[in-house]
Amino acid sequence: MKIFIALLSSTLLLTSCSKWLDVKPQSQVAATDLFDSQEGFEEATNGLYSRCSLQAAYGDELSFGFLDVLAQNYYINFNDYQHYLQTSIYNYRDNDFISRKDTVWTSLYNAIANSNLILTNIENGKKLLTPVDYGVIKGEALAMRAYLHFDLLRMFAPSYGNNPSAPAIPYVSTFSNKVTPLSTVSQVLTLVLQDLNAAKALLKPVDPILSAGYIIDYPWNSTSTTAPPTRSTEQSNASLFLQNRRNRLNYYAVCGELARAYLYMNKQDSALSNALEVINSKKFPWTDPGDFTDPNPQNVDRILYKELLFSWYIPTLGKTLANRFAQPVGLYLDQVSGANLYQTNGVGGADTRYKEWLSPLTDANGQWLTVAKYKRDPDTNRHPLLAPALRLSEVYYIAAECSYDANPSQAMGYVDSVRFHRGIPDPLAATGKQDFLNQLLAEARKELYGEGQIFYMFKRLGLPVTSPSGIGHPATNNIFVLPLPDSEIEYGGR
C-alpha cells in the first residue's frame, strides 16, 4: 500500500498542477499535439485534400454534380432519380438543391478553417520543418484558402463583370469562432490573388515539380500486364508527402489558378503571363491519341491524365461515379444534345472526345449517350481515379482569351492547339470578339464536360446558359448567384 502513498506523493511532487490536468486525448489528436512534429503538419496538409475530396465537395458534387446541371450539360430523366430536376430549372428554393449547396458551403469553409489552423501554427512550427516542407505546406495552405474562396465566390456572388462592388462572401483568414464580415467581389478577388501570389512565391524555390527531373507520365501499374515501361518520376521522391504533386496545389496549379482568378477580375495581362508560365514550361505533355483511344479498357486514358495540372485523388469513389453516370438513374445526354455539343455534323466529325466520352445506349425510351469520361471497367487502369480540377487545355483557353485583343490569330492558335490534339483538323475561324468568345465557350464545353467549370464560364462572360439542344436561359443573377445558406444569413447576420 505504501506504493500508493509513494505514487501519490511523487505525482504531486513531480508535476505541476495545471500541467497534470492538461490531459490529451488519445483516440483523437489535439491540435496542439498534431502541430508538434513535421509529420503532423504533413498530415494536416493531406487532410485538407482528403476533406475536399469528400463526395459533398470536389469528390463528387462540385466536380460532377450540380454545377454541370446548372450549365445545362445533362439530360434529366423525368423520374428524377438523383433529384436534379428542380436544380436544372434554377429553382433555388428546392430542398435538394438547398441541402447540396449548403453542404458545399459548409464543407469548403471547414476546409478553409483547416487551412487557417495550419497557417496559425506554421510559424511556431518552422523550426520543426525542413525548408522544403515549410514552403510547400505554407504555400499550399495559402493556395488552398484562395482556391476555395475563389470557388465560393464564383458560386455565391455576382461575377466581377456584373458588379465588382456587390457584397459577396466572407474571406476568412483566421481560425476562430468569430463572424467574418462579407467582402465585396473585388475585395475577395484581391485577397485571393494576394494569397495565391504569396503561395507562388513560397512554392517557387521548393516545389519538386519545378525540378527538371520531375517527369510526368503514367504511373507504372503492376496489375496491368500490358503496361509499357514508363518514364514517370512522380512517385520517386523519398518522401511520400512530396510525391504526386499534381494531386496537390503545386506551383503550376497555383499559376493556373492565378490565371483563372486574374481573368475573372479582367486582368488579362497578368492572367496571360501566368498561363504562359505553365504553357512554356512544357511540363505537361499532350496525351498521345493512341492512349486516349486505346481499345483495351485497361490501357485507355479516359481523362487525359498527363494534361492535368491539379486533380483530386478519389480512388474509392469509383462506384459512386458509376452510379452518378449510370443510365437511366444518373446524369447523361440525349443523342441530339451530344451531337450538338461535339458538333459531329460539322467540325467535330472526328472529335475523339465524342467517341471516348459518350457511349451510345438504347433503351425502351430511345437512344441515349452515357458519360464514360470517368468509367472504370475494370478498375485497373493506367491512372488512379481522379476528379480533374485544372487542366492544361483550360490554361490554353485562358491564354487564348487574354491574347485575342492584342493578337487574334495567336489567340485562335492557342484554341487550335487543343483542337488538333482532339482530332479536329480545322482551324478556328472567328468573326469578331463575340463570335470568338462563343466559339471558345463551345470548345471549352467539349473539353471540360462533366468537370464543373462551364457554369463559371457562362457566368464570367455573362452569356445566357444554353443547353446543347438549344434551350436558352437568360443571363441574370437569379441564375448566376446561388443564395447564401439560411444558417449563414441567420447566425452571421448577413
Partner 1 sequence: MIFTTLGGAVPQTQSAKAKTIMVMRLTTLLLLIGCLQVSAAGFAQKVSLSEENAPLKKIFGEIRRQTGYAFFYNAQLLERSHNVTISVKDASLEQVLTQCFQDQPLTYSIVNKTIVIRVRDRKEEPALSSLTDTTPAPIWISGRIIDEATNKPVEGANITPKGLSRGVVSNHDGAFRFPLEHGSVLVITCIGYQPREIKTKGVTEFTIKLTPGTKDPLANMVVTGYQLINKDNFTGNAVVVSGEELKKVNPQNLLQSLQVFDPSFNIAQNNISGSNPNALPSINVRGSTALPTGGGAVLSRSDLSSNVNLPTFIMDGYEVSLEKVFDLDVNRIQSVTLLKDAAATAVYGSRAANGVMVITTKAPKDGKLQVFYNYELNTTGPDLNDYHVLDASQKLQYEKLAGLYNSNANTSQDQLDAAYYDKLQNVLSGVNTYWLSQPLRTTYGQKHSLYLEGGGASIRYGVNLLYQTSPGVMKGSSRDRYGLGMDLSYNPGKKLIFRNTLSVNQVNGVESPYGSFADYVQMNPYYPKTDSLGRVLQAVDNWKTNVGGLGSGNGNRATILNPLYNSTLHSFSKSAYLEMIDAFSAEWNIARGLRLRSVLSYTKKKSTGDVFDSPLSNDFYFYLPNQLTQRGSYTYSTNDENTFDGNATLTYNRQIGDHFINMALGSNLRTYTTDSKSFYAIGFTNDRFTNIGFAGGYPAGTTPGGDYSQQRLFGSFATLNYAWKNKYLLDATIREDGSSLFGTQNKEASFWALGLGWNAFKEDFLALSPVISQLRFRASTGLTGSVSFAPYQAETTYTYYANSWYSTGVGASVNTYGNEALKWQRTRSYDVGMDLGLFKDRLIISPRYYYKLTHGLLADINLPPSTGFESYTDNLGDMANRGAELNFKYAAIRNKNWNVSFFANLVNNTNKIVRISDALKNYNNKANQVQKDSLPSTPLLRFQEGQSLNMIYAVRSLGIDPQNGRELYIKKDGTHTYTWDANDIVPVADNTPKVMGSFGTTMSYKRFQLNAIFTTRLGGKDYNQTLSDRVENADPRYNVDSRALTERWQKPGDHALFKNISDLSTTFVSSRFIQKDNTVDLTSVYLSYDFDKAFYSRLAMQNLRVAFTMNDIAHWSSLKIERGIDYPYAKSFTLSIQTSF
In the range 18-47, which residues lie near partner 1 by CB under 8 A? 18, 20-23, 25-32, 34, 40, 42-47
Near partner 1 in 243-272, by CB under 8 A:
243-244, 247-248
CB-nearer residue toward partner 1: 208 or 330: 208
Restricting to residues 144-203, name those near partner 1 by CB under 8 A.
169-170, 172, 175-180
CB-wise, 386 or 402, nearer to partner 1? Answer: 386
Q: Which is nearer to partner 1, 44 or 482 (CB)?
A: 44
Helix axes 185-203, 251-264, angle to 10 degrees: 160
Q: What are the φ and ψ backbone dihedral angles of 343, each rounded to 5 degrees?
A: 50, 45
368 closest CA partner among 399, 407, 339, 332: 332
If the CB atoms of residues 124 and 176 are measured against partner 1, the closer one turns out to be 176
Work out whether 222 is an interface residue with partner 1 (CB under 8 A).
no
C-alpha grid cell, residue 208: 519538386
Short-list 430, 295, 314, 437, CA closest to 58: 314
DSSP 293-315: T-SSTTT--TT-GGGEEEEEE-G
Site for partner 1 in 71-110 (CB under 8 A): 102, 105-106, 109-110
CB of 152 to partner 1, least distance (A): 9
One of 98, 113, 132, 322 touching partner 1 (CB under 8 A) = 113
Rounded Cα distance, 187 and 179, in Å? 17
* Binding region for partner 1 (CB under 8 A) out of 12-20, 339-347, 440-448, 462-470: 12-20
Nearest to 58 by CA among 452, 490, 372, 431: 452
Task: Single out the residue of 144, 199, 209, 242 in contact with partner 1 (rule: CB under 8 A).
Answer: 242
Q: How far apart are CA 455 and CA 448, in angstroms?
A: 10
Q: Does 485 bind partner 1 (CB under 8 A)?
A: yes
Tell whether omega for the bond before 158 is within 30 degrees of 0, i.e. cis.
no
- When asked if residue 313 is in the footprint of partner 1 (CB under 8 A), the reply is yes
Note whether 410 binds partner 1 by CB under 8 A: no
- Residues 316-335 binding partner 1 (CB under 8 A) are 316
Site for partner 1 contains 116 (CB under 8 A): yes
Q: Are 300 and 291 in contact (CB under 8 A)?
A: yes
By CB under 8 A, the residues from 360 to 399 that bind partner 1 are 384
